[in-house]
A and B are shown apart, each in its own frame.
Chain A
Amino acid sequence: MSSRLGRIYRIAGPLVVAEGLESPRMYEVVYVGGEGLIGEIIAIRGEKVYIQVYEETTGLTVGERVEATGRLLSAELGPGLIGTIYDGLQRPEIEIGKLTGDIFIKRGVRVNSLDRSRKWVFNRSSGVKIGEKVSEGDVLGSIQETPILEHKVMVPPGVKGVIEWIADSGEYTVEETVAVISTGEAKIEVKLHQVWPVRVPRPYREKLTPSEPLITGKRVIDLVFPIAKGGKAAIPGGFGTGKTVLLQSLTRWGHADVAIFVGCGERGNEMADALKSFRELFDVRRGRPMMERSVFIANTSNMPVAARETSVLLGATIGEYFRDMGYNVLLVADSTSRWAEAMREISGRMEEMPGEEGFPAYLASRLADFYERAGRVTALGDPQRTGSLTIFGSVSPPGGDFSEPVTRNTLRYIQALYALDYDLATRRHFPAISWLMSYSLYVDFVKEYLNEVSGGKWYEYRNLFLKILQREAELLDIVRLVGPETLPEEDKLLLEVAKMIKEGFLQQSEYDLNDAYSSLEKGFLIMEAILEFYNTSLKLVRSGVPVFKIRELKSPYLIYRFKLYPLDEARNLYNMFRETFKKEVEELMGGTHGE
Chain B
Amino acid sequence: MENRLYTRITRQVYSARGSLVFVKSIPGISYGELVELDVDGEVRLGQVVDVSQDVTIIQIFGSSLGITPGKTAIRVRGERLSIPVSVDMLGRVFNGLAQPLDGGPPVVPEEYADIHGEPLNPALREPPSEFIETGVSVIDAMFTLVRGQKLPIFSGSGLPHNKIAMQIVRQARVRGKEESFAVVFGAVGVTFEEAMYFLDELRKMGAIDRTAAFLAPAASPTVEKLALPRTALTVAEYLAWKQGMHVLVILTDMTNYCESLREISAAREEVPGRRGYPGYMYTDLATMYERAGRVQGRRGSVTIMPILTMPDDDITHPIPDLTGYITEGQIVLSRDLWRKGVYPPVDVFLSLSRMMKEGIGPGKTREDHSAVFGQIYRAYAEGQRLREIIAIVGTESLTDRDRKYLEFTDAFETKFINQSEYERRSIERTLDLAWELLSILPEEELAIREELIKKYHPKYRS
Contacts and interface: CB of A to CB of B under 8 A. Distances in A.
A103 interface: yes
B248 to A, nearest CB: 16
B124 interface: yes
Interface string A257-280: 000000101011111110110000
Interface residues on A, range: 35 or more
Interface stretch (B14-22, B204-212, B280-288): B280-288
B453 interface: no
Interface residues of B, number: 74
B282 to A, nearest CB: 6
Interface centre among B28, B117, B124, B290 (most CB of A within 10 A): B124
Nearest to B52: A10
B186 interface: no
A93 B282 contact: no
A238 B270 CA distance: 26
Nearest to B48: A11
A9 B52 contact: yes
Interface string A101-125: 0111110000000000000000000
Given A10-B51, A483-B392, A265 B318 contact: no
Interface in A224-260: 238-240
Interface string B323-337: 011101110000000
Interface string B28-72: 111111000000000000000111110000000000000000000
A85 B279 contact: no
Contacts of B149: 269
A544 interface: no
A358 B280 CA distance: 11
B350 A273 contact: no
Given A59-B31, A267-B290, A358-B279, A104 B316 contact: no
Contacts of A586: none
Contact of B121 (A105, A240, A354): A105
B345 interface: no
Contacts of B324: 239-240
B271 A267 contact: no
A260 B321 CA distance: 28
Interface centre among A56, A57, A60, A303 (most CB of B within 10 A): A303
Interface in B422-461: none
A94 B287 CA distance: 21
Contacts of B378: 428
A97 B124 contact: yes
Contact of A270 (B49, B118, B328): B328
B397 interface: yes
Interface in B262-318: 270-274, 279-280, 282-283, 286-287, 290-293, 295, 298, 316-318
Interface centre among B118, B123, B324 (most CB of A within 10 A): B123
Given A9-B52, A270-B354, A344 B121 contact: no
A345 interface: yes
Contacts of B118: 56, 104-106
Interface stretch (A165-173, A396-404, A521-529): A396-404
Nearest to A304: B119
B109 interface: no
Nearest to B330: A240
B201 interface: no
A268 B287 CA distance: 11
B321 A268 contact: no
B127 interface: yes
A426 interface: yes
Contacts of B28: 61-63
A93 B80 CA distance: 26
A85 B123 contact: yes
Nearest to A345: B280
B153 to A, nearest CB: 15
Interface stretch (A183-191, A294-302, A362-370): A294-302
Contacts, number: 194
B358 interface: yes
Contacts of A263: 122
B194 interface: no
Interface in B346-383: 349-350, 352, 354-355, 357-358, 374, 377-378, 381
Contacts of A323: none
B125 interface: yes
Given A61-B30, A97-B124, A301 B283 contact: yes
A63 B280 CA distance: 27
A593 interface: no
A104 B148 contact: no
A301 B280 CA distance: 11
Given A93-B121, A103-B124, A58 B290 contact: no
A398 B314 CA distance: 13
B326 A399 contact: no
Contacts of B128: 269
A96 interface: yes
Given A301-B282, A348-B270, A58 B328 contact: no
Interface of A: 9-12, 17, 56-63, 85, 93-94, 96-97, 102-106, 238-240, 263, 265, 267-273, 275-276, 298, 300-303, 305, 338, 341-342, 344-345, 348, 354, 357-358, 396, 398-401, 426-428, 480-483, 485, 511
16 contacts: A12-B49, A59-B30, A63-B27, A63-B53, A93-B122, A106-B118, A240-B330, A267-B326, A268-B119, A269-B149, A272-B125, A275-B123, A302-B291, A357-B273, A357-B274, A399-B274
Given A11-B52, A303-B119, A399-B317, 14 more contacts: A11-B30, A12-B31, A57-B31, A59-B30, A61-B28, A62-B51, A96-B121, A104-B119, A267-B290, A301-B283, A301-B286, A302-B290, A400-B316, A511-B357
7 A-B pairs closest in CB distance: A10-B52, A301-B286, A58-B32, A399-B316, A93-B123, A302-B290, A104-B118
